[in-house]
Amino acid sequence: MRKLVFFDTTLRDGEQAPGFSMKTEEKIRLALQLEKLGVDVIEAGFPISSPGDFEAVQKVSEVITESSVCGLSRAARKDIEAAWEALKGARKPRIHTFLATSDIHMKYKLQKSREEVLSMAVDAVKLAVNLCPDVEFSAEDATRSDPEFLYKVIEEVIKAGASTVNLPDTVGYATPEDMYSFISGVMNNVPNIDKAVISTHNHNDLGLGVANALAAIRAGASQIECTINGIGERAGNAALEEIVMAVNVRKDRFPDVECSINTKELYRTSRMLTNITGVEVQPNKAVVGKNAFAHEAGIHQDGVLKERTTYEIMTAESVGFPSNALVLGKHSGRNAFTTRLKELGYSLSPEGLEKAFAEFKDLADKKKEIYDEDLEAIVLGRAAEHKKYYELEYVGFSSGTGSVPTVTMKLRRQDGSVITDASIGDGPVHAAFRTVERICGAEGRLKSYRINAVTPGKDAQGEVTLTAEFDGAGFNVGGKGYSTDVLVASVEAYLDALNGYLAKKENLK
């Protein structure tokens, strides 16, 4: 059997997509879930790119014990040294260095000759190997590179010590037929190919990312670079959950490969990512979408009731979908609440459980039906908490046709004092944000703002996710808030972002 290595780049390539940026503590939380999922390699960031990315790679390295932790670097000394500095506390560190090998990239981006690029690639790998025993080299835009030149680069970087060679379809140009021929060509034309793991990284610009990844596996690739929910640059990357289930369901097509992914953690990992980013997957998303196991057509329903396999090729339970949609209400006790959390895979400290239960009872008074998604919002929102410089005590809104939107607010500071103020604005949300800024003495600029319904129904919790920049600091912070009142959720999200900014500002002192 051939071990299929899953290299997850959600925290690096995935986070680069607009609207998907994550705080360091969110990256740590997701990294721990990726480890629980069974991911072999977690690419935690690009250390040289920013102090935040460096810190994230460093912090993830400190907490991950089973998976390898990887940091990206260009083929340059300062990048490689920065990556190692961030990774050196990891139990299983990996330096991932890359350089473009296609003529179009070498001519227009690098402005280097083939000879220069080959020398840079070899020198980068040699430097990385002197620092770290596990080194991966990526030939950027490999699928559009001249094959003979690419074969030479692969051969030389393996000689230099690269234990993994990644061959990305950087712009998502390949078709499955192209990918099979491409990987087969590499396997058959590089003399020392048996000395390294061959990896593939497929972008989804033509919607073929997963298909190309599967073709690469059949041709001999043993590492798959992918992301949760397929997030990433432009149209995203091949989705980890789809590749895993394709290999598992179609064992007849992949009889010689095995992987260590715990498929029952797929749905939970997907939900954690959407909770962190505030970006939901489409309902018909394969494997983890809300409708992935739903049947509405009468013929389908009749068939499934008689024999599940008539219309289902995998079970909801196999990917960790909650077996119960509606579980609790306002009369439910602590034991039922705790039991359901355990069934969903969540474990809280006694103090955290008490606070979460109090939030649950408060929500149950406002909603007739409590869904698993409501419980996840409580638990995941609590897991993301950081130091609170300001907390909401009261907010009142006055707005409507022909009136000036006005907000009155009370915020409690860290020292226990309460400040009251009011503002007007173009709308209630604008007025609320201005009030927060007046009380806290900070000037904010909203960069993104999204509202989602956590569950079905008119009384569903509103989930507000936003990013903002405060006081022209030069970096964005994210915030999240939940409430059955979306205006209140908006205030909570803005305060969450402000508290995150103040915490980051304090740490930079």
Residue 218 lies in a domain: yes
Cα 444 from Cα 136, distance rounded (Å): 41
- 414 with 366, same domain? no
Looking up tokens 């909801």, which residue turns up? Answer: 316
Residue 203 lies in a domain: yes
Query: What pLDDT shows up at residue 384?
Result: 58
- 367 with 404, same domain? no
Query: What pLDDT shows up at residue 306?
Result: 79
- 376 with 404, same domain? no
Higher per-residue confidence, 100 vs 323: 100
CA nearest to 392, candidates 499, 470, 471, 484: 499
Average pLDDT, the chain: 92
Looking up residue 187, the CATH number of its domain turns out to be 3.20.20.70
Q: What's the alpha-carbon Rg for the chain, to the nearest Å?
A: 25
Looking up tokens 């008539």, which residue turns up? Answer: 310
Question: Which among 286-300, 359-373, 384-398, 419-433 has the top mean pLDDT?
Answer: 419-433
- 368 with 476, same domain? no
- 127 with 213, same domain? yes
Query: What pLDDT shows up at residue 334?
Result: 85
- 238 with 367, same domain? no
Residue 284 lies in a domain: no
Tokens read off for 429: 């949300």
Residue 333 lies in a domain: yes
Query: What pLDDT shows up at residue 393?
Result: 96
Q: What integer is the mean pLDDT of 159-163?
A: 98
- pLDDT greater than 80 at residue 308: no
- 349 with 395, same domain? no
Indicate the residue among 383, 405, 423 that finishes a domain: 383
- 249 with 354, same domain? no
- 143 with 229, same domain? yes
Indicate the residue among 277, 310, 345 that finishes a domain: 277
Residue 300 lies in a domain: no
Residue 287 lies in a domain: no
Looking up residue 472, the CATH number of its domain turns out to be 3.30.160.270
pLDDT category at 136 given cuts 50, 70, 90 is very high
Query: What pLDDT shows up at residue 383?
Result: 59
Tokens read off for 280: 């939901």
Q: β-strands 5-8, 223-226: how paired?
A: parallel
**The total number of structural domains that make up the chain:** 3
CB-count exposure of residue 400 (10 Å: 0-12, 13-18, 19+): exposed
- Percent of the chain beyond pLDDT 70? 95
- 146 with 92, same domain? yes
Read off the pLDDT of residues 85-101 as tens digits, 9 standing for 90 and up. Answer: 999 999 999 999 999 99
Indicate the residue among 383, 403, 424 that finishes a domain: 383
Read off the pLDDT of residues 361-414 as tens digits, 9 standing for 90 and up. Answer: 888 888 777 877 788 888 876 655 667 899 999 999 999 998 999 999 999 999
Sign of CA dihedral 366, 370, 371, 374: positive
pLDDT category at 326 given cuts 50, 70, 90 is very low
Residue 347: give the domain boundaries. 322-383
- pLDDT greater than 50 at residue 325: no
- 374 with 401, same domain? no
Please calculate the CA angle 231-41-172 and round it to the nearest 5 degrees.
Answer: 40
Query: What pLDDT shows up at residue 139?
Result: 98
Tokens read off for 235: 């149209």
> What are the E-state strand segments in 16-163?
41-45, 68-74, 93-100, 135-140
Residue 342 lies in a domain: yes
- 49 with 93, same domain? yes
Residue 299 lies in a domain: no
